[in-house]
Amino acid sequence: MRETEQEHAWGAGRRACVFLVAGGLALLMAAPVARAERPLLPGVGPGDRRAPVDADAAPWRSVVRVQTNLAGRCTGALVGPRTVVTAGHCLFNARTRRFLPASSLHVLFGYARGDYSQHITVARVVTDPAYDPSAGQPLESADWAVLTLDAPAPATVPPLPVAAAPLAAGAPVMLGGYSQDRAQILMADRDCRVLGTTAGLLVHDCDATRGTSGGPLLVRTAGGTGEGWAVAGVAVAAGNTPAVRNFAVPAARFAASLAKDGIAGQP
């Protein structure tokens, strides 16, 4: 697990934050973590709002588990019949200092307690050329990846639309994923809001921790095929302080890559 520093408007000076990928890398720097009855997880406040959600119900059935051959795992969202968005750092091999090839990646639909409705391998991976996880200060706003599946998603899983328009502070959102502390079930915070933007990232107060990387930040939408919800961004990092200030790459950052696959963002 790598730890970096993210400057934002609500902190005095610089605040530590951690990537939300599950497994593997050691923390490079330590930051104080508030303690209640037990240590708080990065990105989760003392009033943890996360709760289990049904992986077969809308819109959560469009949230997937992304696994690698190296036993790493993250979260992703289906945004096209064969297209999944996730976080770029989830696919990075720290030993080789390279992104994993598509052949090392797997997408699981309807995952719950070791079972899943379908497993599909990945045919192609696209990451932002501006994103280098091995750099001293990676460009976090470029921390996204688009996965093209080897086969179409299950017919029972509708793709979520993509909301590329900017979100105003105060906009209600939801965030779900396979958190490291509850990795066998899908957990979500369904009562959170956008706080603003910083350094090209959306700042929000959704409770989320390691393993939630790549999970969709969902916003309400009128009509469309997403059953009332659209992907406004993907989760990438969590503030390591008691006040929840977490970060997502906005969908506008990867909308051009999706357009090449015929996936248009909502206005």
Phi, psi for 141 (deg, rounded to 5): -70, -10
Alpha helices (H) along the chain: 255-259
Query: Does residue 265 lie in a domain region?
Result: no
Query: Are 169 and 143 part of one and the same domain?
Result: no
Considering the domain architecture, whether residues 168 and 143 belong to the same structural domain is answered as no
DSSP class of 188: E
For the CA atoms of 24, 70, 206, 47, what is the dihedral angle to 10 degrees?
-50
Same domain, 243 and 164: yes
Write down the pLDDT at residue 7: 31
261 within a domain of the structure (yes/no): no
Q: What is the pLDDT of residue 261?
A: 81
258 located within any domain: no
In a domain, 181, yes or no: yes
Cα gap 83→258, rounded to integer Å = 8
On whether both 204 and 81 belong to a single domain, the answer is no
pLDDT at 244: 81
Domain finish residue from 149, 172, 187: 149
Domain assignment present for residue 89? The answer is yes
For residue 103, the 8-state DSSP code is G
pLDDT tens, position by position, 220-229:
987 555 569 9
**Does residue 129 sit within a domain?**
yes
Residue 58 sits at the vertex; the CA angle it makes with 236 and 71, to the nearest 5 degrees, is: 40
Query: Same domain for 47 and 164?
Result: yes
Residues 48 and 75 in one domain: no
Range of the domain at 132: 61-149
Domains: count for the chain? 2
Closest CA to 176 of 222, 142, 207, 145: 207
Contacts of 121 (CB under 8 A, 6+ apart): 102, 103, 105, 106, 107, 149, 150
Q: Is residue 135 included in any domain, yes or no?
A: yes
Strands 51-52, 98-99: pairing is unpaired
Based on the domain organization, do 124 and 176 belong to the same domain? Answer: no
* 237 shares a domain with 175: yes
- Pick the last residue of a domain from 124, 149, 174: 149
Domain boundary among 119, 149, 179: 149
Whether residue 143 sits in one domain with residue 214 = no
Alpha-carbon distance 257 to 28, whole Å?
32
Residues of the chain below pLDDT 70: 1-40, 223-227, 241-242, 265-267
- What is the spatial distance between Cα 208 and Cα 69, in angstroms, rounded to a whole number? 24
Q: How many CA atoms lie within 13 A of 188 on its CB side?
A: 21
Among 267, 258, 262, CA closest to 126: 258
Nearest by Cα to 74 from 86, 82, 85: 86
263 within 8 A of 83, measured Cβ to Cβ: yes
Q: Are residues 65 and 139 in the same domain?
A: yes
Please report whether residue 221 resides in a domain.
Answer: yes
| Residue 87's CATH number | 2.40.10.10
Euclidean distance between CA atoms 222 and 245, whole angstroms: 28
Model-level pTM? 0.86
* Residue 120, helix vs strand vs coil: strand
User: Are 127 and 247 members of one domain?
Assistant: no
DSSP 152: P
Q: Same structural domain for residues 247 and 167? A: yes
